[in-house]
Amino acid sequence: MNRRRCAAAAITVVCALAVLASPDVTHQAYAAPVPPPVSSSPPAVPPPPVELPPGVRPPAASGERSLEDIRLEIDGLYQKAAAATDAYNLAEEQAAKQSAEVVSLAEEIVRGQLRIDELKERAGAAARAQYRGGGLPPEAQLILTDDPQLFLDGAGRIQEGQKATQALIAELSRAQEDLRTYTADAGTQWQKLEANRTTREKAKREITQQIAAAEKLEASLAKDELAQLARLESDAALRAQSAWLGSGVLDDINRRSSERGRKAIQFATGQIGKPYVWGAEGPSSYDCSGLTSQAWAAAGRGIPRTSQEQWRLLPHIDIRDMRPGDLIIYHQDASHVGMYIGDGKIVHAPRPGRNVTLAGAGSMRILGVVRPDK
């Protein structure tokens, strides 16, 4: 009996354990959560922002352009505008000459036509005189006369009349040929005039596009960035000028300007502070070659209107022979010009948005030097 009770108790304990281990029970047992491992290092704290001096742009992020890149792009846009300005000014100058030539030829055509009309009138008068003489030519009338003296007088007049008629015919032919030449020349000049007008309009569009692109780029910058951009421009010019002076180029440049050169310098420096306007040649604004051409005109020496034509047509001077009043031509395409005034400086009209000012002669890439009064 006791054995049976013990066996029953053991079976009861085994069944209870089986029930507690089953997943289908209503009240499940859960293990206590395990705490996370404790790190021995302190939590990461973000570094404080770096304080930059006022007006200093932070370093460009990957893929972002720096202010130096922007400066170079703006310089490139303004150089393209300067080259287009030269093309515009040259087309304008040529168009003015061709327009004057067309007017002159038109006047010649009118005079030629009047001359032809006059000659035709004289020929008609001779024909009417012959008609009044009975319709017979002078030779026939002469044969019919019985008076020897009248015959001799008439023979002389016939010879004179023949010479006059031949001269009249020759003059009429020349007048007609001149008229044809004038007409052909006028047509050629008109075609050139129209071609230059097309060139001028194309250059004008190029100028406005390049300047607008540069101004848009500048307008996208904040005030402090614009100030930094100006410092970058100034620093770049100073580095170029210092390198130029460091080459010893001024060691042999101690020549005095000519009398006309002094007058040209006086005029050019008198325009300092006036704004750059492309295509302008005074008196209230100038572009670069407008300033130099007007300065030398004031000194009594006419020179080409554009920097490219000044480089092409004026006598070239070695830079070590340069003297005040000479013109320094800049950039590979000769798209800029300034007037050397001595002590390593030039006076020039820089670009849109700037005024006529003094600058280091070596602050831009020099192509060469020309002398208007050589």
Alpha-carbon gap, residue 109 to 104, rounded angstroms: 9
- Active-site residue (options: 15, 27, 316, 348): 348
Amino acid identity of residue 118, one-letter, is E
- For residue 316, indicate whether it is catalytic: no
- For residue 27, indicate whether it is catalytic: no
Alpha-carbon gap, residue 347 to 85, rounded angstroms: 19
- For residue 336, indicate whether it is catalytic: yes
Contacts with 332 (C-beta within 8 Å, 6 or more apart), sequence order? 365, 367
Which DSSP state fits 327?
E
How many degrees, rounded to 5, is the angle at CA 39 between CA 33 and CA 44? Answer: 120
- Active-site residue (options: 6, 15, 27, 288): 288
Alpha-carbon gap, residue 20 to 214, rounded angstroms: 84
Can you name the residues that pair with 303 across neighbouring β-strands? none
Exposure class string for 69-80: b at 16+ Cβ within 10 A, else e: ebbeebeebbbb
The answer to whether 349 touches 276, Cβ cutoff 8 Å, is yes
| Cα dihedral 333, 338, 340, 346 sign | negative
Q: Which residues are catalytic?
A: 288, 336, 348
